[in-house]
Structures are given as C-alpha cells and as structure tokens.
Amino acid sequence: MTSTIEAPAITPAALAPTGLRLPRHLLSAGDLDRDAALHVLDTAARIEQAIGGREVRKLPTLRGRTVVNLFYEDSTRTRISFEVAAKRLSADVINFSAKGSSVSKGESLKDTALTLQAMGADAVVCRHSSSGAPQRLSHWVEGHVVNAGDGTHEHPTQALLDAFTLRRHLGELAGRRVVVVGDVLHSRVARSNVLLLSTLGAEVTLVAPPTLLPVGVQTWPCAVSYDLDAALVGADAVMMLRVQQERMSGSFFPTAREYSRSYGLDTRRRNLIAPSGIVLHPGPMNRGMEITPQVADGVGSVIVEQVANGVVVRMAVLYLLLGGEGAA
Amino acid sequence: MAPARPADSTATSGSTLLSAADLARTIDRIAHQILERTAGDAVLLGIPTRGVYLAHRLAERIALFSGRACPSGSLDITLYRDDLRRRPPLALHETRLPDGGVDDATVILVDDVLYSGRTVRAALDALRDHGRPSVVQLAVLVDRGHRQLPIRADYVGKNVPTALADDVVVRLSECDGADSVTLVRSA
C-alpha cells in the first residue's frame, strides 16, 4: 500500500461559520464550484475522523429523514454505499429497484416519483439508464435528488470519492496529473471526473481508442491522447475505466485481446507512473481486460480504499444537502 | 448554544470580565481544582473551537503541577446538535481523541461559555458513541446562566450574571491574537 499522507489543511471555506450551501440537487459534478467541492471533501474527512475507529459507527444527524434509493439499473457498490451512508446518519432508507416493482407493470418515472413524493421522501438517490433522468426527476419531487449515475452522462458522487481518495494520497490536487484510460464514450465516471478534477486544478488526460471517445471531447477541460505509454510517464495517478460491454451496440475495437494490449494496465505500464503514484478503478473490474490482477492487487492500488471512501463522501453529501432543510 | 460570534470580534467593546493575566490565573485555578478532585488522572476533551485550546492549556498546567502528562483532545458536536434542521448545514470541526480512548476514564469536557447547556447535551451524546467513561465532568471558563437543560458545570472560571441579549466574547491568543473575556451589553 502507498503511504497515506496527512489530510490537507482545512480550507477557509470550511471554516465559514454558517458553512457553504450546495446546490439543491446534486445532478452534475459541474454544478460544484471549487469551494463547494472542497467543502464536501473536507466534510467527508471530518466525518471519517469522527466515526473512525470507534465502537458506534453511527451519527444521529439525519434522524427521522427518509432517503429513497431509486435504482433503475443494476448496481452493487453504489446502492449499498448510499444505503450504508444514509443508515450511518440514522436516516430511514427505502430501497427501490425497478425489478419487482410497478415499473415492470409499466409505471412511468413521473408516476413513480409522485408516489415517492406522497410517501415523504426527503432525498431521492437515482440511478437510471437514461441520461438526464435525475434532472427530470428533480422537477417532480420536492426532496433533494442525488444523481447516482445516469446513462452515459454523469456520476458526481463517484467523482467526489475519487477526488477524496486522490487528495488523501497526493495532497492538494492543483497541478497534479491524472490519466483517465479506457471507455470514455460510455463512461459517466470519466465525464464527472474530468469536470470535478479540472475544477480542483488537476491536469486530466483522457486516453482511449478514437472509437471510444465521445464527439466534442475536444471542448472538455482536459487533454486527449491515444498513446497510453507516453501519457503515463510521470503521472500522479491513473484511473482505469471499465469496458462497458452492456452499453456497446457496435464493435468499437477488434478484439478484447487487442484492446488489452493497447489500453490495458499491466505491470510494465504501471511502473511508468510516478513512484508515489496511485491506481484507481471505479469498479466493477474486468480483470485481464483493462487491468491485470497483479496491478489491481499490487502496490499503489487504492481500488478497495475507494469503496470505503465512497461511504464517507456520500455521508457528507447527504448531510450537506439534507442538513438545515427547514432553514430560511 | 453560544450565539455566533460577531465577525469583527476584535472590534467589540464592552466591560472586561477577565484580562489576559486573570485568564491565566483562572486556568491555573481550574487546573488545581481538577487535580484536587481527580489526582490528575483525567482526559480533557475540548469542544471546538475555543474549548479545544482551553483543554490544551489546562492539560499543560495539570502536567506541570502534577509532573504527569495529562491527555487532551477535541470532540466535535456539530453532527449531534438539536437544531440541525433549523439552520444551514454547519462546517464540521476536528475530532481527535487521545490514544487511550475514553473507556473507563474520567473525562472532563471543556468549553469556553456555558449558556443554554445544549452544546454540552450534544457533547454527552457524542461522547457516548465513542465509549463509556467512568465519570464525565464539565469545566467552563464562563458560566453566563440561562440554562435550557438540567446541566451544571463542575469547574467554573467565573460566574457572570447576564441578560439574554448580552454577548460574552471569549478571545484566546491561539485564534484571536490575544486573551480576554468581555461582556457586551445589548444596546
């Protein structure tokens, strides 16, 4: 494991007596300016400090609030992570998955939203296979909407937990070089990370085969390269993306083997990054495809830590969105 | 809970309750009282922000008087407040417990001003989630009255009768540049 350095000093924004308000809904990582993003990360660090290593890993903060996990798409870690986060804050959690619900009888998103509204959901955590679904949802419910991944659009809490993990190992992110590799076209993780990390001052380079880069990528606040070896040299962190077979309708590369040869992270490539550099993956991994098991389980891999950090980051998001609900 | 301090607390005028020298003597007296009652075998936990500095100062004096180190730390109570629904979310402060933890220890909570008692109520709840101390006591620099909960301090630096609208401003060199306690009367 890489050494964990001391958490960066708390920023003045976090010391503001009334705190900083987040947008009403967390739909895009781009909605957070630098102060708001740092406020979430600092709050997560404080929460981790408050519950770390103690007997009762629970806080009474959101007692009596209801958080609905509205998942129209399969998910293990995100749903469980949000569920654990809400429960650690003493909120009541209702899990809703499209399978086994009225959705299979043909109920629309709007009607489902109105049903949740009638039951008094204070926050709705939404994952949907269509880009923009949480945005639509935010017009229909009175509670706060958190985007937990919508189609190929965004996954802001994943970007926040990645930034939290990076900050822990690298310190302040300004000027740090982060290489994001793989299926950018289908990746909401890449989109949110580019937005958030550039807001925080990091230099992001996307590396992917041309077929897996979205149209208009040149307008994103990042560099683009097709040469993985060159991009990796001296990088502070490399983030591998999952090859999303389930979203691929056409053929984007000749064979899995060829993809792995050109864009997979093996031990030789891993050694090109800075000595203190770290390896991230949002999971689930296709071992042997975009990343070899040796690298995934090897030195500098923070993939398991990312999952643990996801819980405290989501606790921070829920606290900051739901805290002070009744305040003017 | 103590009202938010005015942003320009350096500019506040009012009657001085404790000068820097008074404050040092008061801390020494409380340190001696703690020694008397606990023989120095205590864990001091300050409530952010100024309670933490007071806890460190008290621990230093206790260590000096008794010749034994006295552990101190900080306990953030923000997530345990009872008014979270009524105000915008507050920034969190540091929580750092001494290595030995609080189980079976004599824990002394330290804060600058005791007012409604709601901060202390929250601190008791927070403490319970960190372990089970054998005894919990409370030390405050100023007790200004107007309790809203059945809470009382074990060690008090100064009792000050105040009106509800008054403000007791504690300044400490660690965060405000100088030591002083002033009472600002409402106009």
**Helix, strand, coil content of chain A in percent (nearest 5):** 40, 15, 45
Domain span at B145: 14-184
pLDDT band at B111, cuts 50/70/90? Answer: very high
Chain centroid to CA B69: 20
- pLDDT tens, residue by residue, A241-251: 999 877 776 78
Percent of chain B with pLDDT over 70: 93
Residue B8 lies in a domain: no
Residue B159 lies in a domain: yes
The predicted structure's pLDDT at residue A326: 52
Note whether B95 contacts A49, CB cutoff 8 Å: yes
Closest residue, chain B, to A9 (C-alpha):
B94
Other CB atoms within 10 A of residue A45 CB: 23
Find chain B residues with C-beta within 8 A of A324's C-beta: 84-89
Find chain B residues with C-beta within 8 A of A20's C-beta: 91
The predicted structure's pLDDT at residue A233: 95
> What's the total number of domains in chain B?
1
Give the pTM.
Answer: 0.89
Domains of chain A, CATH where assigned: 23-154+308-322 (3.40.50.1370), 156-305 (3.40.50.1370)
Kindly state the DSSP code that residue A141 receives in the 8-state scheme: -
Note whether B76 contacts A15, CB cutoff 8 Å: no
Report yes or no: A180 and A207 within 8 Å, Cβ to Cβ.
Answer: yes
Report whether pLDDT(B23) > 80: yes
Residue B46 lies in a domain: yes
Residue B133 lies in a domain: yes
What CA–CA distances, in Å, run from B89 to A40, A52, A107, A130?
11, 21, 36, 32
Position of tokens 């310190």? Answer: A171
Note whether B91 contacts A20, CB cutoff 8 Å: yes
DSSP chain B: -PPPPPTTGGG---EEEE-HHHHHHHHHHHHHHHHHHHTT--EEEEPTTHHHHHHHHHHHHHHHHHSS---EEE---GGG-S-GGGSPPPPP---B--TT-STTSEEEEEEEEESSSHHHHHHHHHHHHH---SEEEEEEEEE----SSS---SEEEEE----TT-EEEEE-HHHHSS-EEEEE---
Find chain B residues with C-beta within 8 A of A19's C-beta: 88-91
Report whether pLDDT(B104) > 60: yes
In this prediction, the residues of chain A whose per-residue pLDDT falls under 50 are 1-4, 6-18, 327-328
Taking the C-alpha atoms of residue B70 and residue B60, their distance in angstroms, rounded to an integer, is: 7
- B7 or B87: which carries more pLDDT confidence? B87
The predicted structure's pLDDT at residue A324: 66
For B2, list phi and psi in degrees, rounded to 5: -55, 135
Residue B6 lies in a domain: no
Other CB atoms within 10 A of residue B187 CB: 4
Cis peptide before B161 (omega within 30 of 0): no
What CA–CA distances, in Å, run from A285 to A143, A166, A288, A291?
33, 19, 9, 8
The predicted structure's pLDDT at residue A4: 47
Instruction: List strands edge to edge, sheet with A203-207.
Output: A223-225, A203-207, A177-181, A237-240, A278-280
Residue B96 lies in a domain: yes
Q: Which residues, numbered 1 to 30 in chain A, qualify as contacts with chain B under a Cβ-Cβ cut-off of 8 Å?
A: 14-21
Report yes or no: A240 and A199 within 8 Å, Cβ to Cβ.
Answer: no
pLDDT band at B38, cuts 50/70/90? Answer: very high
The predicted structure's pLDDT at residue A8: 45
Report whether pLDDT(B7) > 80: no
Note whether A39 contacts B4, CB cutoff 8 Å: no
Nearest to B86 among A16, A42, A327 (CB): A327
- pLDDT tens, residue by residue, A70-88: 999 888 889 999 999 999 9
Q: What is the mean pLDDT of chain B?
A: 91
| Longest CA span, chain A | 58
The predicted structure's pLDDT at residue A106: 81
Nearest to A19 among B86, B89, B96 (CB): B89
CATH classification of the domain holding B107:
3.40.50.2020
Residue B4 lies in a domain: no
Taking the C-alpha atoms of residue A164 and residue A169, their distance in angstroms, rounded to an integer, is: 9
The predicted structure's pLDDT at residue A7: 45
0.90 surpassed by complex ipTM? no
The predicted structure's pLDDT at residue A17: 40
Report whether pLDDT(B64) > 50: yes
Report whether pLDDT(B6) > 80: no
Percent of chain A with pLDDT over 70: 92
Residues near A261 by Cβ (< 8 Å), separated by ≥ 6? none
Residue B168 lies in a domain: yes
The vertex-B96 CA angle with B92 and B100, nearest 5°, equals 155
Pick the closest to residue A69 from A127, A144, A27 (CA basis): A127
Closest residue, chain A, to B49 (C-alpha):
A15
Report whether pLDDT(B3) > 80: no
The predicted structure's pLDDT at residue B152: 95
Q: Note the residue count of chain A.
A: 328
The predicted structure's pLDDT at residue B40: 80
Pick the closest to residue A149 from A270, A255, A282, A254 (CA basis): A282
Percent of chain A with pLDDT over 90: 74
Question: How close are the terminal C-alpha atoms of chain B, in Å?
Answer: 22
Q: Which of A15, A59, A63 to mutate to test the interface with B (most CBs of B within 10 A)?
A: A59
The predicted structure's pLDDT at residue A11: 41
Local structure of B168: helix, strand or coil = strand
